[in-house]
A and B are shown apart, each in its own frame.
Chain A
Amino acid sequence: ETGVTQTPRHLVMGMTNKKSLKCEQHLGHNAMYWYKQSAKKPLELMFVYNFKEQTENNSVPSRFSPECPNSSHLFLHLHTLQPEDSALYLCASSRQPGEGNTGELFFGEGSRLTVL
């Protein structure tokens, strides 16, 4: 148990569906992140939120829309996705702002997304 909880763990959706991924951290951290994990590829940073403010959007297509209502919750809204968006989406948090920031990232177990 890392203190970062993601739901749902598995999601299958059609290209015209709208769905959301949820992440909650119970660690009192100030920064939250969305990463995309595809087979045989490095982890890809998607979004960074520091103190609820988005500080980085790593050239992510607009069909992915993040939302951070408070420092403990992070959402990723999905709309009109493509089959190549199928991947494991990982949420992470850290005590200090900034990606990596030379401090530990705490990852959730991920949401496995399949787009048909």
Chain B
Amino acid sequence: GENVEQHPSTLSVQEGDSAVIKCTYSDSASNYFPWYKQELGKGPQLIIDIRSNVGEKKDQRIAVTLNKTAKHFSLHITETQPEDSAVYFCAAHGNNRLAFGKGNQVVVIP
């Protein structure tokens, strides 16, 4: 089945700087890649997603890039703010199964 690796596990950034989280996947048939943000005490919430026919997608301060050949995709957060502090999960959908990464703790230092 699909295996999703996510790194780094923890990332600290100064407020205003950019943060990048990278994920790799194993199943070349995977065609949908969502990113979920989980704040303390809450459930994960979809923040952005990308499909395999697109290389990049942007929504305000967040963007996702996909490299199908290398089987990796990344989340980019620019001009980080304290409210960006959370755990971020990547996922890959293939063979009717959604496989999540282990999550990345992002800490934005004011």
Contacts of A4 in B (CB 8 A): 43
Quote the shortest CB–CB distance from B88 to chain A (angstroms): 13
Q: Mark A4-24, 1 if CB is under 8 A from B, else 0.
A: 100000000000000000000
Main DSSP-derived SS at the A contact region: loop
In which size bucket is the chain B interface?
20 to 34
Quote the shortest CB–CB distance from B64 to chain A (angstroms): 15
Contacts of B49 in A (CB 8 A): 104
**Total count of chain A residues near the partner, CB < 8 A:** 20
A90:B44 contact, CB within 8 angstroms: yes
Residues on B lying within 8 angstroms of A by beta carbon are 4, 9, 31-32, 34, 36, 41-46, 49, 51, 89, 91, 93, 96-103
Residues on A lying within 8 angstroms of B by beta carbon are 2, 4, 40-43, 45, 90, 92, 98-102, 104-105, 107-110
